[in-house]
Chain A
Amino acid sequence: MPDADRQRERGTAGARGSEASRKADHAGIGRLTDELLPALIAKLGTTQLGELEVREGEWQVRLRRPFGTAPGQGRRAGDKPSRSQPGHEGHGHGRAAPEGTRGSKAGAAGAARSGADPTNGTGAGDERQKSRTIATSPAVGIFTPGSRAASGTRIRAGDSLGSVNVLGVPQDVLAPVDGIVGSTLVEAGTAVEYGQELIRIELAVPAAEAL
């Protein structure tokens, strides 16, 4: 639910912003990247889990396996980047940087750089299969595809492809990557669960490279 995260983070960011809190933020970022992240990456590598999330005070760090390497099922395709969202100067909390939600390559590379590809070997095969990926449901509710969910539509990471209605509140289904909309796996008006695969996205490989 990157979008919801962003909204929440923006909400808390508004309440902050003093010099002191900025300093605390920088100290926090330093500590997170130096101490917490390597430990979390190691931990994720030894478990069967697809995702780890840790909160500490106002900080939140979430790690996910690169798409397809999580055991069980392909989930949360869009959340490939295994990285924290510690935030930017002056904003307290990280509103997710464009490059944070964009680009599977950056995310996968990030995980590889830190030597944390947890799946020992399947990662390479996975790289080859990356000609397509899937947008998943951000919540439990009723799915409605949006105008950009039509097959063949060229989309960018972070585009809203539709929504899932949770007790009257629509939550965006976000495109995990740049690409072209393929088939929609679930009919409009269907009840979906959190993480359910909704819309297939083809990655035109050369195009993706170009982007």
Chain B
Amino acid sequence: MFRRILIANRGEIALRILRACRTLGVEAVVAYSEADRDSLPAQLADEAICIGPPDARRSYLSAPAVISAALVTGCDAIHPGYGFLSEDETFAEVVRAHDLTFIGPPPEVLDRFASKEGTRRLLGGFGLPTIPGSPMINDDQHALDEADRIGYPVLIKPSAGGGGKGMRMVRTSRELESAIKICRSEAKSAFGDDSLYLEKWLDDNRHVEVQVAVDRYGAGVHLGERDCSVQRRHQKILEESPTPALTSEARASLAETAIRAVVAAGYENIGTLEFLVDGSGNAFFIEINCRIQVEHPVTEILTGIDLVALQIRIAAGEPLGLRQSDVVLRGHAIEFRINAEDPAHDFRPGAGVIEQYHAPGGPGIRMDSHLYPGYEVPPYYDSLLGKLIVWGPDRETAIARSRSALEELLIDGVTTNVDIHRALLENETFLEGRMTTNLLDRVGSAAFLAAAAAGAR
């Protein structure tokens, strides 16, 4: 096991990793930017070290700053969290070159799964159903030919990165021709890589993902799935498990297919395989995330397994210590992402001082947040303030507890998206478990909020 871990991230995930380190008896050093000097993780860490100015490119995204901080504080491993440097295989390589361990898949594994298009082919070869798609696009004519072959509508996707950047859905060849230029330039500026590919677009699809854990010795288990169909512009806002989209047989079969394929393909550490599920319950693999995910607590609360601790143990070379039969999924869990965003103004991100903060409690309630009264939310980073995770023996109970918990949650000082969560819990489509990834965008968030308000009266 490691002796001392550098946490190269911020906000709630830095706090989450810090807690896992404490549980494992490992010292934790938090690397922070000047904007996060007063943050909770920096205050609670065994040691905190300032690595740069607020601009993430010179702090959280600066490989030299992060690695130098790990070396001068005597750490033997770096936990990158999610986002920032977490899926950067070059960073992972440089970390190793400095005799440190990158907590995540080893560099060669990251490298093997770096290209989304390549990963789709690799795992497709090991029996995963993949979405019809193109190889890397050479030029516009190639794109048009491939789109004809796949059949419109198609989704233009960048090979690198995520978060909806450089991604466009097109329904005709004319749309494709104009959108592909935009995608190319967006991908270039966001990820420094403008390679694109096409994917069949499924209208009214659902997003279901399978959590896996594989050790260095090839032992692997799946930890069930999560449904992330509640999205706004390709950003997840609520996740739950089990997915209401599939029968329990279909869920088990999907998870088993997923774990078999990644073990066969030589994956290592924890990871998430994302699938699109069509209206008939057919699942198509789209991509793998080689890191801890924002929504990991949904799985933790169902399985009782600490995924961050497991991730650290696997990176340290420990055997998994779990068989599939040890993974028991109990009840139903829902996670609400609480963001500093104003739903009334097109989800404009906000910043400011938290005047009051109260986290809800009671049976089955977990709040992962770095907020405290007086904390100043800086304007430089993503708007996630925390995650409310609610468990119940069944979906109905989880929803009832969620209503109560959202009512109890108090965050004063910045505008949050809590209203959209309250509205979701009054929405018939959600209550019936029929959410699709395009629903919020199709209805429009404002109309969605208004409808919920009218229904509640």
Interface readout for A106-143 with B: 1 if CB under 8 Å, 0 if not? 00000000000000000000000000000000011110
Please determine whether B51 and A193 come into contact, CB atoms closer than 8 angstroms: yes
Q: Knowing A53-B55, A139-B52, say if A194 contacts B73 (CB, 8 Å).
A: no
Q: Does A36 contact B (CB under 8 A)?
A: no
| Stretch with Cβ within 8 A of B (4 or more), from A42-50, A84-92, A200-208 | A42-50
- Judged by a CB distance under 8 angstroms, whether A191 is at the interface is yes
Partner of A53, one of B51, B54, B69: B54
Quick check: is A72 within 8 A (CB to CB) of the other chain? yes
A140 touching B72, Cβ below 8 Å: yes
Tell me whether chain B's interface is mostly helix, strand or loop, or mixed.
mixed
Taking the complex as formed, is B37 at the interface, i.e. its CB lies under 8 A from any CB of chain A?
yes
| Residues in B neighbouring A196, C-beta threshold 8 A | 50
Contact B376 A51, beta carbon cutoff 8 Å: no
Q: Is the C-beta of B343 less than 8 angstroms from some C-beta in chain A?
A: no
A194 adjacent to B72 (CB under 8 Å) = no
Q: Say whether B378 contacts A49, CB under 8 Å.
A: yes
Contact, CB under 8 Å: A191 / B73: yes
Is B98 part of the binding interface, using a Cβ–Cβ cutoff of 8 Å? Answer: yes
Cα distance, A191 to B68, chains bound together (Å): 10
Q: Report if A140-B55 is in contact (Cβ < 8 Å); known contacts: A49-B378, A72-B37, A194-B65.
A: no
CA distance A195 to B50 in the complex (A): 7
CB pair A55 B51 closer than 8 Å: no
Report chain B residues within 8 Å CB of A191.
72-73
**A166 contacts the other chain (CB 8 A):** yes
Evaluate whether A169 and B49 lie within 8 angstroms (CB atoms) in the complex, with A72-B37, A72-B38 already known. Answer: no
The bracket for how many chain B residues form the interface is 20 to 34
Q: Which residues of A contact B55 (CB under 8 A)?
A: 53, 55
In the bound complex, do residue A140 and residue B65 qualify as a contact, i.e. CB atoms below 8 Å apart?
Answer: yes
Distance of A49 Cα from B65 Cα, bound (Å): 21
Closest A residue, CB atoms, query B63: A167
Docked Cα-Cα span, A47 to B54, in Å, equals 14
| B35 at the binding interface (Cβ < 8 Å) | yes
Can you list, as one digit per residue, whether each of A34-77 has a CB less than 8 Å from chain B (1) or not (0)?
00000000000001111111010000000000000000100100
For residue B326, give the distance in angstroms from its CB to the closest CB of chain A: 41
Interface residues of B in 5-59 (CB under 8 A from A): 34-35, 37-38, 49-55, 58-59
Q: A49 near B35 (CB under 8 angstroms)?
A: yes
Assembly CA distance A75 to B50 (angstroms): 12
Question: Is the interface on chain A under 10, 10 to 19, 20 to 34, or 35 or more residues?
Answer: 20 to 34
Given the complex, which residues of A lie within 8 Å of B50, measured CB to CB? 140, 193-196
User: Are B68 and A166 in contact, CB atoms less than 8 angstroms apart?
Assistant: yes
Question: What residues on A are CB-neighbors of B98 within 8 Å?
Answer: 167
Expressed in whole angstroms, the Cα–Cα distance for A64 and B381 within the complex equals 19
Interchain CA distance A50-B53 in the complex, whole Å: 10
Closest to A54 in B: B55
Q: Are B34 and A50 in contact (CB under 8 A)?
A: yes
| B85 close to chain A: CB less than 8 A | no
Interface pair A167/B64, CB less than 8 Å apart: yes
| Chain A CB within 8 A of B67 CB | yes
Most buried by B among A47, A75, A193: A193
Asked if residues B69 and A51 are in contact (CB atoms below 8 Å), the reply is no
**Cβ–Cβ contact B376 & A194, under 8 A:** no
Residues of B within 8 Å of A167, CB to CB, are 64, 67-68, 71, 98
User: Do B34 and A75 touch across chains, with their CB atoms under 8 A apart?
Assistant: yes
Q: How far is the CA of A195 from the CA of B226 in the complex (A)?
A: 42
**Cβ of A141: which chain B residues have Cβ within 8 Å of it?**
68, 72
Tell me, in angstroms, the Cα distance from A142 to B98 when the chains sit together. 16
Q: Which residues from chain A contact B67 at a C-beta distance below 8 Å?
A: 167
Return the CB mask of B116-156 against A: 1 if under 8 Å, else 0.
Answer: 00000000000000000000000000000000000000000
A197 to chain B, nearest CB (A): 12
Chain A residues with Cβ below 8 Å from B38 are 72
Complexed CA–CA distance, A47 and B59 (Å) = 20
Partner among A48, A50, A193, A195 whose Cβ is within 8 Å of the Cβ of B376: A48
Q: Is the CB of B64 within 8 A of A51?
A: no
Cα A116 to Cα B282 with chains together (Å): 60
Contacts of A52 in B (CB 8 A): 54
Which residues of B are found within 8 Å of A193, using beta-carbon distances?
49-51, 69
Which A residues are CB-close (under 8 A) to B52? 139-140, 194
CB distance from B206 to the nearest CB of A (A): 37
A195 CB contacts on chain B under 8 angstroms: 34, 50
- What 1/0 flags go to B87-99 for Cβ under 8 Å of A? 0000000000010
Chain B residue nearest to A50 (CB atoms) is B34
Give the nearest-CB partner of B98 in chain A. A167
A98–B35 CA distance with the chains assembled, in angstroms: 28
Query: Bound complex: CA of A51 vs CA of B55, how far in Å?
Result: 10
Q: A75 vs B69: C-alpha distance in the bound complex, in angstroms?
A: 19
What chain B residues lie within 8 Å of A51 (beta carbons)?
A: 34, 53-54
Please, what's the 1-or-0 string for B60-79, where 1 marks a CB less than 8 Å from any CB in chain A? Answer: 00001101110111000000
Q: Which B positions have Cβ atoms within 8 angstroms of A? A: 34-35, 37-38, 49-55, 58-59, 64-65, 67-69, 71-73, 98, 351, 353, 376, 378
Contact sample, A vs B, 17 pairs, CB 8 Å cutoff: A1-B58, A47-B376, A53-B54, A53-B55, A55-B55, A72-B37, A140-B65, A140-B72, A166-B64, A166-B65, A167-B68, A167-B98, A169-B64, A194-B50, A194-B51, A195-B50, A196-B50
Q: A140-B68, A167-B68, A167-B98 are in contact. List 11 more A-B contacts (CB 8 A).
A: A1-B58, A47-B351, A48-B353, A75-B34, A141-B68, A166-B64, A192-B72, A193-B49, A194-B52, A194-B53, A196-B50
